[in-house]
Amino acid sequence: MMKIGFKRLSETAKLPIYATKGAAGMDLCADIETFVLPGSHRLVPTNVVIELPRGYEAQVRPRSGLALKHGITVLNSPGTIDSDYRGGIGVILFNTGNGPFHVKHGDRIAQLVIAAYAIAEPVEITEVGASERGCGGFGSTGL
C-alpha cells in the first residue's frame, strides 16, 4: 500500500478516508457550510493539501449517492490534482436538481482516486498510421 501525505489547513478540516476496504476512492469532506443553488456551481473547500509523488495524480470524482438523490455532481469531473500542486483541494459542485442543496460542514462531497500516469514526450510526425476506426468521431462506433 502506498502512503500519501495530507496536511490539514484548518483545525476543522477532515482528512480523506476510505469508507470501506474495497473502495477505490477516498471521501473528501467540505470544510464550510454553504448552499449550491439549482443550475449553479460552487467551489467548496476541503482545506486539505495532498503531497503526491511524481508520476501520480489525484482524481476528484462525484459521489454516486449525491448524484442520484440530489442531482449533485463535480463540474470538471474528473478533476485532476497534479503531483506538484500544493494548495488546498477544492471541489466544484454543480447542482442539476430543482432545489437548493445544503452542504454542511464535514459532509462527504466527492471522492479522491489516486492514479499512476505515464509521462510522454511529444514528437511531431508527418503521417498518422491507419487504424480500424480511422477518423470516425463522435458516435461513429454506434450507440
Whether 138 shows a pLDDT value over 90: the answer reads: no
pLDDT digits (tens, 9 = 90+) for 81-92: 999 999 999 999
pLDDT digits (tens, 9 = 90+) for 92-125: 999 999 999 999 999 999 999 999 999 999 999 9
Domains of the chain: total: 1
The more confidently predicted of residues 57 and 2 is 57
The answer as to whether 125 is a domain residue is no
Question: What pLDDT score was predicted for residue 80?
Answer: 97
Residue range of the domain that includes 39: 5-116
Q: Grid coordinates standing for 58?
A: 489525484
Question: What pLDDT score was predicted for residue 139?
Answer: 81
Tell me the CATH number at 9: 2.70.40.10
Question: What pLDDT score was predicted for residue 137?
Answer: 82
63 neighbors 112 (Cβ within 8 angstroms): no
Q: Grid coordinates standing for 33?
A: 457550510
- Residue 55: Cβ within 10 Å count: 11
Whether 140 shows a pLDDT value over 90: the answer reads: no
C-alpha pair distances (Å), 95 with each of 30, 62, 65, 79, 82:
16, 12, 13, 17, 26
pLDDT digits (tens, 9 = 90+) for 14-70: 999 999 999 999 999 999 999 999 999 999 999 999 999 999 999 999 999 999 999
Whole-model pTM above 0.85?
yes
Query: Is the link from the previous residue into 78 a cis peptide, with omega within 30 of 0?
Result: yes
The answer as to whether 122 is a domain residue is no
- Beta strand 90-95 with 41-45 is antiparallel
The answer as to whether 131 is a domain residue is no
The more confidently predicted of residues 117 and 132 is 117
